[in-house]
Amino acid sequence: MATKTRELSVGDKAPDFSAQDETGRGWSLKALKGKSVVLYFYPKDNTPGCTTEACDFRDRYDNFAKKKVVVLGVSPDSAKSHAGFKAKHGLPFPLLVDEEREICKAYGVWRMKTLYGRKFLGVERSTFVIGPDGRIKAALRKVSVTGHAQAMLDAV
């Protein structure tokens, strides 16, 4: 896996990754060449903001599918956590396991955060739209959950 840490911008080649989803199926960006991909990073399964975001992608999933866009969620949670989250909310897209935070680091979303005055490393909610050529078409950081999935649908 890539370990690139510089901030990615529109036009950059997206870092390749390989990871398993909640079922153990392997995924890589290289294998998705020729397809548009929405790769969204979220902090934690079953938290209010992450649930709202995932359900928003779920509710628009058919529209992504009509555009032949692959939607992938990524967080540091385990496969077991992802499987429960996916089943509980009927999510139709894969959730990639990144327990070692390699994909998060490659995309520059593993960052210092502050909550109630406490500083800690965590996932900065971010989304990347990757074109069929493997280049980044949109890079959104510090994403607001409300309306985010629709904005990504508009971006592909």
Q: What is the pLDDT of residues 38-81, one digit of tens each?
A: 999 999 999 999 999 999 999 999 999 999 999 999 999 999 99
Query: Is 52 part of any domain?
Result: yes
Find the CATH number of the domain harbouring 149. 3.40.30.10
47-to-1, 52, 81 alpha-carbon distances in Å? 28, 9, 12
Q: What does the mean pLDDT of the chain come to? A: 91
Matching residue, tokens 């994909």:
103
How many structural domains does the chain have? 1
Query: Is 104 part of any domain?
Result: yes
Query: Is 67 part of any domain?
Result: yes
Instruction: Give me the residues paired with residue 13 across strands.
Output: 135
Query: Is 2 part of any domain?
Result: no
Residues designated as active site = 50
pLDDT of 6 reads 64
Separation of alpha carbons 70 and 37, rounded Å? 5
Q: How many other CB atoms are there within 10 angstroms of residue 60's CB atom?
A: 15
Q: Which domain holds residue 57?
A: 43-155
The pTM (predicted TM-score) of the whole model is 0.91
pLDDT in tens, 96-110: 999 999 999 999 999
Is pLDDT above 90 for 142?
no
The pair of structure tokens assigned to 64 is: 């992504």
Query: Is 1 part of any domain?
Result: no
pLDDT in tens, 106-130: 999 998 887 788 888 889 999 999 9
Query: Is 126 part of any domain?
Result: yes
The DSSP annotation for 66-128 comes to HTTEEEEEEES--HHHHHHHHHHHT--S-EEE-TT-HHHHHTT-EEEEEETTEEEEEE--EEE
Query: Is 75 part of any domain?
Result: yes
pLDDT in tens, 18-27: 999 999 999 9
Q: How far is CA 38 from the centre of its chain?
A: 7
Using pLDDT thresholds of 50, 70 and 90, give the confidence band for residue 2.
Answer: very low
Query: Is 136 part of any domain?
Result: yes
